[in-house]
Amino acid sequence: MTIQTQAKLQIETSASASLLRSDNRVRRKNVTAYLFLLPYLVVFVIFLLLPAIAGVFISFTDWRILGDVHWVGTANFTDMFNDPMFWQAFRNTLAFTGMTVPILVAGGLGLAVLMNMPLRGRTIARMVIFIPYAVMVIVVGVLWRWIYDQNFGLLNFYLGTLFPSLHGMPWLTSITNALPAVAVTTVWWQIGTNMIIYLAGLQEIPRELYEAARVDLPGLYLIHIFVIPMSVISSLRVFGQVMVMTNGGPIGSTYTLVQHLYSRGWINQFMGEASAVGVFLFVLTLIFTLVQLRYFFRRQS
């Protein structure tokens, strides 16, 4: 064996050993990453994925918690679509989504632009705007139910002082005012989250790409793709604040899809029909999300 051949073999052996060590390092990093993900994946599978799959199966049965389970096919979906309360909940949910999502998105972006300016006290202002989202929905509902109270609420007190004709306004007991009042509460509660997300996106855009009054919106496409679908999903799933503030009233004017699911499943124990409502809500959410993603990807391309 010549010296050149030996040198070539040594180089090839060294290169192979280096590649092997590199592969081992990558493998160890992957294993470490999966170990960090494992707790979340276990919780996701046990408490989200498996119940969702079970819910789809239950939607085709007459399960009522106790007793035998019988396959009924699409009967639950037929009963659901023939139920006038379902359609009222569907209309209210769409109306609520239309009231909240534009303000949550546009308002969140506007606040982010404002909080991204070199203003004094902006750190405290960011904290004040975001803090409501850290409050539990039950506390939010009780707080705003007191603010909206017709007799001794803060809102009527100050409005009655400025505009005497608005004294004693029935915010949560009026068919016309109840849903917008809950929408205002939701915007106050959730807009800080969108502000923080948009603020993070704005801080990633170099200063030379936007002027004081004009943000380079194409640079925020990825943020829009996340914020808008999440805002829509959150609004379609509205439940907690409605239950605490109005319990679906007055006369069903704030009755939503998730509350209909709760009523059919946990109050009346028609778990099959409740699961059908859940499947419908999932399909509705999926359609909204896919339409928005398709629109954004077309604009980006």
Question: pLDDT, tens digit, for every residue of 48-90?
Answer: 899 999 999 999 999 988 888 899 999 999 999 999 999 999 9
Neighbour tally for 92: CB within 10 Å: 24
Q: Whole-prediction pTM value? A: 0.84
Under 8 Å between Cβ of 178 and 250:
yes
SS3 11: helix
- In single-letter form, the type of residue at position 58 comes to I
pLDDT tens digits along 243-288: 999 999 999 999 999 999 999 999 999 999 999 999 999 999 999 8
Handedness of CA 69, 75, 77, 82 (dihedral sign): negative
Range 84-300 classified under CATH 1.10.3720.10: yes
pLDDT at 201: 86
CA distances from 160 to 138, 147, 165, 183, 217 (A): 27, 13, 7, 22, 42
Backbone angles phi and psi of 67, in degrees to 5: 95, 180
Extract the residue ranges of the chain whose pLDDT is less than 50.
7, 9, 212-213, 215-216
Token duo for residue 37: 């993900």
pLDDT at 117: 87
